[in-house]
Amino acid sequence: MSESKSEAGLLVYILPFLAIVPLMHNQGWDSSEAAILIVAVPFVTFPVILVVGQLYNGHDTWKNKLKEGGILALGALGTSLSAALWIIYDYFDALPDFGDQHSISQWLEWVSFDLLQSDYTLTSETNILGVGVWVDSVTLMLLFVATFLCFLICWFSLGYMNTDPINEDRNHRFYGEFVLFALGMFGMVLADNFLWLFIFWEIMGLCSYLLIGFYYWKESAAYAAKKAFLTTRVGDVFLMVGLFMLYDIYGSLEFSVIFHDPSLHGAVDSAQLFWALLMMFIGAVGKSAQFPLHVWLPDAMEGPTPVSALIHAATMVNAGLYLVARMVPFVDVGHHGVPGLEDLGLIVAYVGGITAFMAAAIAFVQNDIKKVLAYSTMSQLAYIFTGLGAALWFYNHDEHHAAVVVFGASMFHLFNHAMAKGMLFMASGSVIHEVHHAHDHLHHGHGDHGHFDPQDMRNMGGLASKMPITATAMMVGSMSIIGIPLIGGFWSKEGIIAETWLAALDHEPLMIGPAILVILTAGMTGFYMSRMWFMTFAGEPKSDVVEHVHEATPWIKEPLIVLTVVSALGGIAFALLGATDYLSSSYGDAGHLKLHESTLMESVIYQLEHAFLPENQNLRLVGWTTILLSFIIGPVFAARIHGGPLSEGESATPAVSWLVRISGKFGSQDVSSLSESDLAEALENRLYFDDLYEGLLAKTVLPMASFAAWFDRNVIDGVIKQIESNSVSGSLQIRTITTGSARDYILMAVVGMLSIIALIWGISS
């Protein structure tokens, strides 16, 4: 107890950071000016942590008081969070005055230049690639998600990282890179143009590389880090070319210029714009780990668990979604968008649908608790892509109402997923940490390290009674991901699935592909998330380690509790406040977070009616099918295979106990024959995509590189050497006059030059 008290006392050190924003407010600063703090404070903190950490490594104050930089990182992220909250508050406060629902402030002319026009004159006005801030409803939501989760994950890391002896004297690297990662996301969300969006986007790529490779000595970690960077880099290059094309079309990359009138009175060639947006979408596919550039995300689990939480919930993967969300103004024909881009929506939806289904299928057979979550991330992000694809399609067909609903639902799902997934990763980290700890405790001195995998769910089971908080948290998080009615992700996922079906049934038959895939995936999600939870927390313990697990590490519980509440209630709360409409308000529609009806009760009834009894009969059918699949069929199958009551005499929190008891009532099913099938093997090998890519690279790139090196050495340089050896007698003579003296060389040069002058002069005159 005293230990945790002294740990809590360390929070005093972050107070100066938290005081910055109130002080600025007192000094009469504007919140949009404070936006720079969100990026600048972490930016200053990052080198400080790295350098000070390197210099004072192992020093007592640094290690115990500042937690090897963790407290500084927490303070910096606290500043960002408070500044973000200030902006959010100001935005709502001033909303009636926000004509276009966004505020901009331009700070800097970063790079300015002229262009030569086709009449051989320079552009009269200098072109500028600038830096500034853009705030609208999507920005605010993502800003909140990023700052809030980064703060909580950093808090969690203080417990997770600093108590692991393997990290000793290395954590300053972790916190420094963590802060840089966070600022990358903050900057990307705030940027007011595509170039700076890309710049921060790449910073995140760097940080994912550094953090996935945090355990630098592990070959698997080094490989995974490289894989993540290179795979996303492939996408990034396409994104970059897309931006060049966009610049060529609009002469600017600023949102305020482009979004104002993307069609430029019909002057824009829709084919070129289509290609530009498609190239940008490839970048988003890489960053958000969608098919076919998805291979890096599961391997990214090589990093420490807080990094997984950071990548999967707070930052990196949301970047791709954000980019696609920013494509809406181009296609929104109701607001000067360019018609003829509906194929883009279809492509996005198909990529989403395929990824959702594929990732969910692979998640069926994973035994590593973090891998299940990784594939779940891929699958859930794919939902959002499908929704955004449908939204793009609707916008481009001027189906404004449907577009608004599905776009809002997609963004809302991003919020729900981020909150739940951030918490799930931290909870899984808590499980891994404690299991690892218990194993060390139990087998201390036995020397059988290395065989035991603390992430393998086959070593767990029955943890519900040992880790009540974690078990409850994970239960709520899983329910939110599955979309159990009324909880978290239910409110957004329903919208995505329903509107995709609407598009397929009423408008575009080709949309049926993604529509079928996402509804199947809903049931599969129910299965694999339940399976994960039951394998970990229900049933009898599957190894002797479980007996020794305790929830004892400080700093770990608080973020879990906070996020459990947010995941459980955030969905319904924001649904009541009209989050869907609000989140679509970025592009031209007025929107405000407020109750739909005048009283709370009426609003609740309205929302429930909306969710469960939509007027369109088809949608009602789709909705109930989804609920049946995800709520009943998936979890029940999981319970039959992996469920079961706890051992005698073990107890857990009420909700968890109830769930565990229920899970034992569906009988049990043996699936060992199924798990040995070819399909299961293919799934375990991730459908052979990694093998395919690696094989392809090994057969093409590596030989070609070796050949290029050989060619350069033996052919190009060989020719030179041939000339050299042919004139060997000449070079021997040169050697005799190579005295090694500078003066001689200068003399030779001058004499040589003069004689050539004389020669040519003689000829010409």
Q: Which of residues 436-455 bind another protein (CB under 8 A)?
A: none
Shortest Å distance, C-beta 209 to another protein = 8
What residues between 236 and 255 interact with another protein by CB under 8 A? 237-238, 240-241, 244-245, 247-248
Cβ closest to another protein, residue 658 vs residue 711: 711
Is the CB of 166 or the CB of 561 nearer to another protein? 166
Our finding on whether 195 is near another protein (CB under 8 A) is: yes
State yes or no: residue 269 binds another protein (CB under 8 A). Answer: no
Tell me the sheet residues that pair with 130.
109
Residue 717 lies near another protein (rule: CB under 8 A): yes
Smallest separation (angstroms) from another protein to the CB of 507: 33
Q: Which of 8, 15, 33, 54 binds another protein (CB under 8 A)?
A: 54
Output 113 or 624, the one with its CB closest to another protein.
Answer: 113
Tell me the pairing of strands 103-113 and 127-135.
Answer: antiparallel
Site membership for another protein, residue 93 (CB under 8 A): no
Query: 668: which DSSP letter?
Result: -
Q: DSSP characters for 127-148?
A: EEEEEEEEE-HHHHHHHHHHHH
Stretch that binds another protein, among 91-99, 231-239, 528-536, 664-672 (CB under 8 A): 231-239
Residues 366 and 341: their CA atoms lie apart, in Å, by 39
Out of 674, 716, 747, 751, the only residue in the binding site for another protein (CB under 8 A) is: 716
DSSP state of 368: B
Shortest reach from residue 345's CB to another protein, in Å:
24
> Minimum distance between the CB of residue 231 and another protein, rounded to whole angstroms?
10
Q: Which is nearer to another protein, 205 or 461 (CB)?
A: 205
In this chain, which of 674, 734, 747, 751 binds another protein, going by CB under 8 A? 734
Comparison of 94 and 705: residue with beta carbon closer to another protein: 705
Q: Burial letters for 124-138: b for 16+ Cβ neighbours within 10 Å, e otherwise? A: eeeebbbbbbbbbbb
Q: Can the peptide bond before residue 96 be classed as cis, meaning omega within 30 degrees of 0?
A: no
The torsion region of residue 530 among left (phi > 0), alpha (psi -120 to 50) and beta comes to: alpha
The values of phi and psi at residue 254, to 5°, are -75, 140
Instruction: State the nearest-atom distance from the C-beta of 716 to another protein, in Å.
Output: 5
Residues in binding contact with another protein, number by CB under 8 A: 77
Phi/psi for 450 (5° steps) reads 95, -30
The packing angle between helices 369-396 and 400-442, to 10°, is 170
Please give the angle made by the CA atoms of 357, 361 and 366, to the nearest 5 degrees.
Answer: 140
Rank residues 624 and 745 by Cβ distance to another protein and give the closer one. Answer: 745
Rule CB under 8 A: is residue 757 a binding residue for another protein? yes
* Contacts with another protein, 200-229, as mask; x by CB under 8 A: x-xx--x--xx--x-xxxxx-xxx-xx--x
Nearer to another protein, 590 or 702 (CB): 702
- Piece of 504-512, 516-524, 632-640, 715-723 that binds another protein (CB under 8 A): 715-723
CA 54 to chain centroid, in Å, comes to 29
Q: 521 with 356: CB under 8 angstroms?
A: yes
Using CB under 8 A as the binding rule, the residues of this chain from 126 to 165 that contact another protein are 127
Cα distance between residue 416 and residue 168, in whole Å: 35
The nearest distance, CB 358 to another protein, in angstroms, is: 24
Does position 747 interact with another protein (CB under 8 A)? The reply is no
Cα 371 from Cα 532, distance rounded (Å): 10
3-state DSSP call for residue 635? helix
36 binds another protein (CB under 8 A): no
**By rule CB under 8 A, what string of x and - marks binding of each residue 94-123 to another protein?**
---------------xxxxxxxxxx-x-x-
- Smallest gap from residue 291 Cβ to another protein (A): 19
- Cβ 192 to another protein shortest distance, Å: 16
Residue 421 and residue 481 in contact, taking contact as beta carbons nearer than 8 Å: yes
Assess 23 for contact with another protein (CB under 8 A): no
- Minimum CB–partner distance for residue 196 and another protein (Å): 9
DSSP per residue, 163-221: T-GGGTTTHHHHHHHHHHHHHHHHHHHHBSBHHHHHHHHHHHHHHHHHHHTSSTT-HHH
Cβ nearer to another protein, comparing 251 with 614? 251
Largest CA distance in the chain: 114
Radius of gyration of the chain (CA): 29
| Residues of span 524-553 touching another protein by CB under 8 A | none
Q: Within 13 A of 593's CA, how many CA atoms are on the CB side?
A: 16
Cβ closer to another protein: 598 or 741? 741
Residue 643 DSSP code: -
Residue of the chain from 267, 601, 720, 737 that contacts another protein (CB under 8 A): 720
Helix (H, G, I), strand (E, B) or coil at 546: helix
Q: Binding segment for another protein among 68-76, 235-243, 346-354, 363-371 (CB under 8 A)?
A: 235-243
In 3-state terms, what secondary structure has residue 108?
Answer: strand
Query: What are the phi and psi torsion angles at 116 (to 5°)?
Result: -90, 125
User: Rounded to the nearest whole angstrom, what is the least distance from the CB of residue 319 to another protein in the complex?
Assistant: 14
**Please, what is the minimum distance in Å from the beta carbon of residue 583 to another protein?**
28
What's the DSSP call for residue 578? T
Residue 746 interacting with another protein (CB under 8 A) = yes
Asked if 688 interacts with another protein (CB under 8 A), we say no
Compare residues 600 and 708 and give the one whose CB is closer to another protein.
708
Q: Closer to another protein at the Cβ: 433 or 466?
A: 433
CA distances from 546 to 196, 539, 709 (A): 48, 12, 55
Instruction: Quote the least distance from Cβ 752 to another protein, whole Å.
Output: 8
Cα(24)–Cα(253) distance, integer angstroms? 31
Residue 753: exposed, middle, or buried by beta-carbon count in 10 A (0-12, 13-18, 19+)?
Answer: exposed
Binding to another protein, residues 606-645 (CB under 8 A):
none
* Nearer of residues 89 and 107 to another protein, judged by Cβ: 107
233 contacts another protein (rule: CB under 8 A): yes
For another protein, give the closer residue by CB, 658 or 745.
745
